Amino acid sequence: MSAGKKILWMLIGVVLTLVLLCGLCVPLALFGSAFQSVSAPSPQVSGPGVALVRLEGVIISGDPPANPFVDASAAAYSGYIVKQLKWAEQNEAVKAVVLRIDSPGGSVVASNEIHQQVAAMNKPVVVSMGELAASGGYYVAAPADVIFANPDTLTGSIGVIAQFLDLSNLLAEYGVTATTIKSGKFKDSGSAFRSMTEEEKAAWQSIVDEAYEGFVKVVAEGRHLTIARVKALADGRVYTGRQAKELQLVDELGNLPDAIRKAGELGGITGEPEVIEYREPFDFFRQLLRMVQPSDPLTRLINALGHAQKPILQYLYVAP
């Protein structure tokens, strides 16, 4: 057999091996995902401790998707955050909770779900803010017993936003038109295929204003401030940790270790508290498939447009 044929057969063998591996990985990953335990983990602790719950990334409703091709690590899913808080509440070894927040906020509904659980906790809750704890990230922090921020944390951004794409001019440039059959004049409000009318803008503004009033009330109650005082601060801007402390939006300047020590004190723990952190079990096949999933610009654009088409209210800090 010639050298060229040998190389060809070697290449064919490599391709077939890769195809076989991929074929095995998909069902195994799906099988593993289907049987993942949803019960509370049982961390090994030797004494009273402080539970550390991390809220990192954009706040999204529900639980992380079972789909192994979806990377859930860059988002804070309200269902999973609430589960961790409930696990900490039920664990007798846990005497207090530290909620570590590094988030620009996100869904109004998801933020409210986490906020309600934080407010319902019978154990002390101390918030530790990281790089960013803005909008919904601040909303969930408001009812905590003590809020720590790094001096250079960006926080605040108290407000509500709803954004809609208008692609009508772009589509018209390429001769693309859309025909919409609807039952009422507001049925396609926010459609990317046309500009919003002034009446539609007014309707959405009333929805945003209602959610804004709810945000202001949550901050006023959590921080023991008047509504007027909060509204004077709640124009959507972010504040540094130093500024937030002066404005009574946070209690202390410090980092995660400071928040853990404070939580230990509030929980009646003598000495250095043990840290208890809940984590989902590592799924090798899920991580492997995430590494090989396509990430071309067209796919990212389609995903972005699909997300923008969802008319949801957001407590979200939109960075310039």
Contact 192, 166 (CB under 8 A): yes
Q: What is the pLDDT of residue 165?
A: 87
**Nearest partner of 123 among 91, 101, 147, 148, judged by Cα:** 91
pLDDT tens digits for range 135-171: 999 999 999 999 999 999 999 999 999 988 888 898 8
CA angle 222, 223, 227 (to 5 degrees): 90
Asked if 187 is an active-site residue, the reply is yes
pLDDT surpasses 80 at 308: no
**pLDDT-above-70 percentage for the chain:** 72
Q: How far apart are CA 248 and CA 242, in angstroms?
A: 10
Contact 142, 219 (CB under 8 A): yes
Q: What is the pLDDT of residue 10?
A: 61
Average pLDDT over residues 16-45: 50
Tokens standing for residue 51: 């539970």
Q: How far apart are CA 133 and CA 162, in angstroms?
A: 19
Q: Domain spanning 45-316: which superfamily?
A: 2-enoyl-CoA Hydratase; Chain A, domain 1 (3.90.226.10)
Q: How far apart are CA 27 and CA 107, in angstroms?
A: 33
pLDDT tens digits for range 185-205: 989 898 888 999 999 999 999
pTM to 2 decimal places = 0.78
Contact 61, 111 (CB under 8 A): no
Strands 154-156 and 238-240: antiparallel
pLDDT surpasses 90 at 18: no
Q: What is the pLDDT of residue 217?
A: 98
How far from the centroid of its chain's Cα atoms is residue 191's Cα? 25
**Nearest partner of 47 among 259, 278, 277, 274, judged by Cα:** 274
With tokens 């799906």, the residue in question is 30
Specify which residues 51 forms β-bridges with.
97, 276
pLDDT tens digits for range 48-67: 999 999 999 999 999 887 65
Q: Burial code of 36-70, b = ≥16 C-beta within 10 A, e = fewer? A: eeeeeeebeeeebbbbbbbbbbbbbbeebeeebee
Region of poorest pLDDT, from 10-14, 31-35, 194-198: 31-35
**Nearest partner of 138 among 55, 227, 75, 228, judged by Cα:** 55
Asked if 135 is an active-site residue, the reply is yes
pLDDT surpasses 90 at 216: yes
Phi, psi angle pair for 30, to nearest 5°: -65, -40
Q: What is the pLDDT of residue 43?
A: 58
Instruction: Give the side-chain half-sphere CA count within 13 A for 212.
Output: 19
Tally of CB atoms within 10 A around 143:
21
Of the listed 135, 157, 191, 262, which one is catalytic?
A: 135
Average pLDDT, the chain: 82
Of the listed 6, 187, 195, 217, which one is catalytic?
A: 187
Domain residue spans in the chain? 45-316
